[in-house]
Chains A and B, each alone.
Chain A
Amino acid sequence: MKKVNSIYIIDDDPITVFGIKKMLRPAATCDDVQGFENGLPALNDLKRRLEEGISVPDVIFLDINMPIMDGWDFLEEFITLDIPKKVIVNIITSSIDPSDYQKWTEIRSKCQHHLNFKNKPLFKIEPSDLDAIDMAS
């Protein structure tokens, strides 16, 4: 079983958060799974961790449509942060709007992190959702 240090789930839908948490259980062991209702509290927590020198999450599950700060706005801010490692960001959306997919390709090209694009519904967390090194090798 994959050992992951820290995971963020950023989604305003409690059912999805519940689902992801549930699906993570058989896929990985992680003592630090955090849920956020939208991008803003997640970003604030991330900044706090960087300031305090606590390790930032290895994997982020990110919804797009959220109030206050949506997934794209979070990503725009996120990629400017000075994070010393490659974070896997799984974009989880029910959107089939081609402009969302396009945006993802755009951001992916200018970002050092590993971005996945996943359409709902999810039934299972794949190993590639948690570890980019396998994919890259």
Chain B
Amino acid sequence: MKAVQTDIHQYLLKQLPKATALVNMEQKLVGVSDSWSAVFDISSKDISKLSIQDLYAKHDKVDQKTLDRFFTKNKSGRLRHLKEENGDEQWFESTFTPWFDEKENVVGTLIQIDDISEEVKKEQELELYKTLHKTQSEVAKIGSWEYDIATEQVSWCEQTKKIHQVPSSYQPTVAEAIAFYKQGYSRNKISMLFHKALKDGSSFNKKLVIVTKKGEERWVMAAGKPIKKDGKIVKLFGTFQDVHDQVQAETKSKENQQLLTTLINNIPLNVYIKDKDSRKILVNKAECEYLGKKAKDLIGKTDFELYDADIAQISREEDLEVMRTQKTILGKETMSIKKDGTITNFLTSKIPLLDLEGTVTGLIGISMDITHLKKKEDQLRDLINVTAVQNKKLINFAHIVSHNLRSHTANFSMLLEFLVKEDDETEKERILAMLSQASDNLMLTLSDLNQVVDINTNINLEKKSVKINDVIHKVQQDLSTFLTKNQIEIKNTIPDDLSVLCVPAYLDSIVLNLMTNAVKYRSPDRKPTITLSVKKHRKKIILSFEDNGLGIDLEKHGKKLFGLYKTFHSRKDARGLGLYITKNQVEAMGGTITVSSQVNKGTTFKVYFDEES
């Protein structure tokens, strides 16, 4: 009966769907289900000889001590074990329960096995996610928080606590959590956002300042989102991120940017950055003002679109040179001509612009407008020139004066010496006549010199607008007898309404002098003709006196032509004063006089009137 019962038990056990085994007190298998056999790959029919310890030893991760305890102490419990076969892993969980007989005596152990591979896999995945999340939140300093409406419980994650600088055990209330925010804007804002989220389910994400437990102010990004269940808000969940360093870096970078922009825009220099193709990629205020365009209209433009073609070409070549050699051009004097023809002088520097790898990406240009300095320099140079000319004139005049006065006084001395020693009365009278002559000569010279001094001391005489032809006609009138006698033909192409700025008395004198000269030095071989004409050149009016007279060898006499007491023709009435006076008068009015001549062809004098002042 017992044997039969055992057989039935065995048979029943064999068919159990759940892997089940019975182990006796000797820790030998008494009966197993097929599924249990499969777990340990038991092929033998005679299972009674198999040791349970040996079977479990075939699997990994088995805690042998725990296993022993199940049998020796008859305790119930669970044990995980891993079966590895051909690289496949299978996790099992064995449940050990004491096996009782009818009289409640322990006769062995009942072992049931579940395949928990899926479970373990999920557990592992979850563990992985947890670790990942923890790492992420630590690295990004992103924490999280939760608020349960029902329990009014606030819970912070580790990271959130860390950001607040509170211990892990800290549990805040809503009021405490909000109190961490800095008084004023931050606290008001978070309070408002929190209640709004609770009330109408709106999410929030705001950069605010908290004061940590240790009293440090830090920028945080607080975000919150309601969680609904059955259409009702049950929780608020959110992230909490320390963005202090970013905000500080941003603020710093903004400050730097602001500083740089302020500097570049307000520096009284034209600053621009060009790319490799010399296209402008940055221009400052001064550069915009200089070019009279807005920054957006200049970005992307090359010099060819802004300046005169030649100037643009020079600039482009400089750019290429700077980018090729990576050498800075410093303080080079350059000239810019805009499309409208405006000329500006610059002191230009071009600096190669390198990226972080040291490759040239363009250049920085800095130009200082030195046009006004240049103008001053030119004015100064002009002034020096004028002064030098004046000085030369003065020295020259001093020599003339001394020479002319000396020659007369020398004659006086000599004649007086003769007179003292002379006994002969006739000779005495001759000497006296000569003394009287010398005196007349001196008077004449003094009056000549006076004329010259007058011209040179009255350089600020008021200039008036005078019609040239009015003057010419008047001189012609005054000289009419002289002109008629010499049968002079005058060709005048000067427009009647043309005026020049001049000192009227000087213009009279100049015209009289040049006309008289043209008549005096006429050629006996030709009918004497004087041609009068004007030309306008830039801001000057050029009055031209052309004759067909004797002419003069300018190679020989050119330098002396306008000198005092220089005469070049054997004429008794030539005193060498006229052209000297004329030149002085022209120059006193800020003009110039030139001469061109060919011997036996004629002479042309040109008077340049300065119309500017």
Interface residues of chain A, those whose CB is within 8 Å of chain B, are 13-16, 18-19, 22, 37, 65, 67-68, 73, 94-97, 120-123
Task: Report which of A22, A68, A73, A97 forms a contact with B403, defined as CB distance below 8 A.
Answer: A97
A18-B434, A96-B406, A97-B399 known; A123 and B569 CB under 8 Å?
no
User: In the assembled complex, which residues on chain B have CB atoms less than 8 Å from the CB atom of A37?
Assistant: 570
CA distance A106 to B415 in the complex (A): 32
With contact pairs A13-B407, A67-B576 given, residues A95 and B399 touching in the complex (Cβ less than 8 Å): yes
Question: What band does the interface of chain B fall in when counting residues whose beta carbon is under 8 Å from A?
Answer: 20 to 34
Q: Does B438 make an interface contact (CB < 8 A)? A: yes
Minimum CB–CB distance from B40 to chain A (whole Å) comes to 135
Which residues of chain B in 557-585 are interfacial with respect to chain A, using CB atoms and an 8 Å cutoff? 565-570, 574, 576
- Encode contact with A along B396-432: 1 for CB under 8 Å, 0 otherwise: 0001001110110111111101100000000000000
B437 close to A (CB within 8 Å):
yes
Q: What total of A-B pairs shows CB separation below 8 Å?
A: 66
**B414 contacts A123, CB within 8 Å?**
yes
Question: Nearest-CB distance from A1 to chain B (Å)?
Answer: 18
Q: Give which listed residue, A14, A15, A96, A120, contacts B399 with CB less than 8 A.
A: A96
A120 touches B406 (CB 8 A): yes
Q: Which residue in chain A gives the minimum CB-CB distance to B570?
A: A68
Overall SS of chain B's interface: helix
Docked Cα-Cα span, A96 to B566, in Å, equals 18
Q: What residues of A have a CB within 8 angstroms of the CB of B404 in the complex?
A: 94
Nearest A-chain residue to B412, judged by Cβ: A121
CA distance A37 to B412 in the complex (A): 20
Q: Which B residues have a C-beta under 8 Å from some C-beta of A?
A: 399, 402-404, 406-407, 409-415, 417-418, 434, 437-438, 556, 565-570, 574, 576
List residues of chain A with CB within 8 A of the CB of B413.
121, 123
Q: Are A67 and B567 in contact (CB under 8 A)?
A: yes
Indicate if the CB atoms of B434 and A94 lie closer than 8 Å.
no
3 A-B pairs closest in CB distance: A67-B567, A120-B410, A121-B410
Interface secondary structure of A, over-half rule: loop
Distance in Å: Cβ of A52 to nearest Cβ of chain B: 24
Report the bound CA distance from A68 to B411 in whole Å: 22
> Are A67 and B566 also in contact (CB < 8 A) when A95-B399, A96-B402, A97-B399 are?
yes
A19 / chain B contacts, CB cutoff of 8 Å: 411, 414-415, 418
B417 contacts A123, CB within 8 Å? Answer: yes
Enumerate 9 A-B pairs (CB-CB under 8 Å) in ascending A order. Answer: A13-B407, A19-B418, A37-B570, A65-B407, A65-B565, A94-B403, A94-B404, A94-B407, A94-B410
Q: Which residues of B contact A67 (CB under 8 A)?
A: 565-570, 574, 576
A122 touches B403 (CB 8 A): no
Additional pairs, 5, CB under 8 Å, beyond known A16-B414, A19-B418: A18-B434, A65-B565, A68-B567, A120-B414, A121-B413
Q: How far is the CA of A67 from the CA of B579 in the complex (A)?
A: 14
Chain A residues with CB under 8 Å of B566's CB are 67
- In angstroms, Cα B411 to Cα A121, docked, is 7
User: Closest CB-CB distance, B345 to chain A, in whole Å?
Assistant: 40
Residues on the A chain within 8 Å of B438, using CB: 15
CB of B171 to closest CB in A, whole Å = 111
Determine which of A13, A22, A97 lies in contact with B411 in the assembled complex, contact meaning CB atoms within 8 Å.
A13
Contact of B406 with A94 in the complex, beta carbons under 8 Å: yes
